[in-house]
Amino acid sequence: MRGMHSGGTPPPRASGAEVLVRGIERGIDAVGRGAAWLTLAVVLLMATDVLLRYAFSIGSVWAQELEWHLLAPLVLAGMTYALQKGDHVRVDIFYAKYPPRTQALVDVFSALLAMVFAILVIRYSLRFVAQSYAVNEISADPGGLTHRWLLKALIPAGFALFALQAAAQAVHAALRWKRAAR
Across the chain, where does the E strand assignment appear? none
Domain-by-domain residue ranges, the chain? 11-180
**Could you read off the pLDDT of 138-168 as tens digits, one per residue?**
887 777 778 888 888 999 999 999 999 999 9
Report DSSP letters for 88-135, one per residue. S---HHHHTTS-HHHHHHHHHHHHHHHHHHHHHHHHHHHHHHHHHHHT
Average pLDDT over residues 84-95: 73
pLDDT at 134: 93
Predicted TM-score (pTM) of the model is 0.80
- Evaluate if residue 1 carries a pLDDT over 50: no
Q: What's the Cα-to-Cα distance from 26 to each of 22, 23, 84, 87, 95, rounded to whole Å?
A: 6, 5, 10, 17, 27
Return all residues near 141 (Cβ < 8 A) that are at least 6 apart: 61, 65
**Could you read off the pLDDT of 32-76 as tens digits, one per residue?**
888 888 888 889 988 988 888 888 888 777 778 888 888 888 888
Residue 86 zone, left/alpha/beta (φ > 0; ψ -120 to 50; rest): left
High-pLDDT (> 70) share of the chain, %: 90
- Do residues 58 and 66 touch, judged by C-beta distance below 8 A? no
